[in-house]
Amino acid sequence: MALIGSIPRRCVNLPSGSLRTLIECVIGNKVQQGPAVEEFYKKFGQWLGTPHVFGASSGRTAFQLALESLNLEKGAEIIFPVFTFPVIPMAAKMLGYKPVFCDVDPRTYNSGPEHIEPQITEKTGAILATHLFGQPCPIRPIAELARQRNVRLLEDCAHACGVRIEGQRAGTFGDIGIFSFAEGKNMPCFGGGAIVTSDEEIAGRAENILPGSPIAEKDAITKKALSIWVMWLLTRPFIFGMTAYQALRLKLLLGQPLMDSAVGDDLLEKFKNSNPRISRLSNLQAAIGLLQLNHIDAFNEGARQNARLLTENLGEIPGIKTPDAIEGDHIYVYYPLTVDPDRRDDLRHYLLKRGFDTKTTDMSDCSALRPFRETDASDDHPATAKEASILEICVYPVISPQKMRQLAGDIRAWAGVAKL
């Protein structure tokens, strides 16, 4: 049985000094408010190459801030990729907008202008271009399409913080870039999110919205930060092998579900009862963000190298497709391995026995979900990636290249294909 060095499905990427910063903010009464927020806005904007940054308590509330800063008419249509995290279009629906879905490229799970343009109508207010899994979408032609059709463009960079397309950072091509600093992303800040823009009118609206928005209570921020730090500790391969991995193996032995989060309609059922309200980035989250900016480029490069190793060592395997980043570089916050849906769970269980925990995706075919059937008139999304086919693999640099090669060898052995 694998034990030492077992690999978790997700590794929380916290920089050194995170716990010390947490303690200092608590002792100095700077958890909620303090000087780190404005400093983070300045340095994050400089790093991205954009003049205006506005923080929020999460990626979802950052998306809400983006929509309110656009000042669209209620009832306006917003075009989303049909394969996405369903909470985002649900948030738009709850705010009074109409989600409209376009198809995705089966090679990348991203939408391009050829998928978006047929969905544009006189009611279209905005397009959300998503860099899913950290793979850049064809953002330049999408931006040109939005300009030609006089439609606002939002960039969802929740998975793509630091991605470059022809030297330009993702999030700076459209009217607003949206970022998430949640624990499962590549730049976690004990939670949080942000929007960025170079549009002065949009920036002015955001500046008017944020001062009237609350900041979470000190105890709630601290409790969440501590829980994320514990997650960081438990996802170190050595500790994971002695703790959560053993629980997963027991669940597999007993035929129980493998600790997967709610997805699809079950996820939306929980979310629709929430009260969407913008809240601000805390000083503690901003202070962690400043630490992250010192490490994020090196971290992203390490993840790219691991993803490259995995792709190169898997090669051509019947019934398995490695991801295909076509535009710019990539990060692979989650490395999406596409597997024959009838065999995906078998591969997942095989890898778990070998010491590699993997994850089913949180993304969904939104056209099939109950809340959107009434708003999405089209049932024809032929290239839609099905969530039943995707297995997400962690490629963060805390995992050694040797482990990446071992993982590829185990996948090839499962498929009955000789090692490269």
Listed residue (304, 295, 283, 256) closest to 401, CA to CA: 304
Distances (CA, A) of 369 to 64, 124, 260, 268, 386: 21, 22, 19, 9, 13
pLDDT of residue 262: 64
338 burial level (CB within 10 Å; 0-12, 13-18, 19+)? buried
pLDDT band at 194 (very low <50, low <70, confident <90, very high): very high
pLDDT at 213 over 50: yes
pLDDT of residue 387: 65
pLDDT of residue 4: 55
pLDDT at 305 over 70: yes
Which residues face 195 on adjacent strands? 54, 178
In this prediction, residues 393-415 reach a mean pLDDT of 94
Q: Would the pTM of this model clear 0.75, i.e. be above it?
A: yes
pLDDT of residue 269: 76
pLDDT of residue 84: 94
Structural element, H or E, at residue 53: strand 52-56
Average pLDDT along the chain: 91
Structural element, H or E, at residue 359: strand 359-360
DSSP helix/strand/coil, 213:
coil
Answer with the residue of higher pLDDT: 33 or 326.
33
Cα separation, 161 vs 334, in Å, equals 13
> Is the separation of the CB atoms in 299 and 397 below 8 Å?
yes
Residue 280 DSSP code: P
**26-66, pLDDT tens digit by residue?**
999 999 999 999 999 999 999 999 999 999 999 999 999 99
In this prediction, residues 89-97 reach a mean pLDDT of 93
pLDDT of residue 297: 95
pLDDT band at 129 (very low <50, low <70, confident <90, very high): very high
345 burial level (CB within 10 Å; 0-12, 13-18, 19+)? middle
The dihedral sign for the CA sequence 12, 338, 362, 326: positive
pLDDT band at 391 (very low <50, low <70, confident <90, very high): very high
Task: Look at the block and give the residue holding tokens 């999408």.
Answer: 142
In this prediction, residues 146-167 reach a mean pLDDT of 96
Cα separation, 317 vs 412, in Å, equals 7
**238-258, pLDDT tens digit by residue?**
899 889 889 988 988 888 887
Cα separation, 87 vs 345, in Å, equals 25
Cα separation, 142 vs 182, in Å, equals 27
pLDDT of residue 1: 45
pLDDT of residue 2: 52
pLDDT band at 380 (very low <50, low <70, confident <90, very high): low
Distances (CA, A) of 193 to 226, 291, 390: 18, 15, 26
Question: 18-212 maps to which CATH number?
Answer: 3.40.640.10
pLDDT of residue 106: 86
In this prediction, residues 364-369 reach a mean pLDDT of 88
> Is the separation of the CB atoms in 140 and 165 below 8 Å?
yes
Structural element, H or E, at residue 179: strand 176-180
pLDDT band at 81 (very low <50, low <70, confident <90, very high): very high
Cα separation, 352 vs 20, in Å, equals 34
pLDDT band at 385 (very low <50, low <70, confident <90, very high): very low
Listed residue (402, 401, 416, 420) closest to 315, CA to CA: 420
pLDDT of residue 41: 98
Distances (CA, A) of 117 to 87, 102, 126, 143: 23, 9, 12, 12
* Backbone phi, psi, residue 112, to 5°: -120, 180
> Is the separation of the CB atoms in 356 and 7 below 8 Å?
yes
pLDDT at 403 over 50: yes
**168-183, pLDDT tens digit by residue?**
999 999 999 999 999 9
Residue 302 exposure: Cα atoms within 13 Å on the Cβ side: 15
pLDDT of residue 376: 54
Which residues face 336 on adjacent strands? 392
**225-235, pLDDT tens digit by residue?**
999 999 999 99
> Is the separation of the CB atoms in 320 and 339 below 8 Å?
yes
**308-324, pLDDT tens digit by residue?**
999 999 988 998 999 88
Sheet holding 176-180, edge to edge: 52-56, 193-197, 176-180, 152-156, 124-130, 77-81, 98-102
pLDDT band at 386 (very low <50, low <70, confident <90, very high): low
Which residues face 52 on adjacent strands? 197
In this prediction, residues 106-120 reach a mean pLDDT of 95
pLDDT band at 265 (very low <50, low <70, confident <90, very high): confident
Which residues have CB under 8 Å from 266's CB, separation 6+? none
pLDDT at 377 over 60: no
pLDDT of residue 310: 93
Sheet holding 335-339, edge to edge: 320-321, 335-339, 390-393, 359-360
Which residues have CB under 8 Å from 191's CB, separation 6+? 57, 58, 181, 182, 183, 224, 225, 228, 285
- Record the tokens describing residue 345, joined without a space: 């769970």
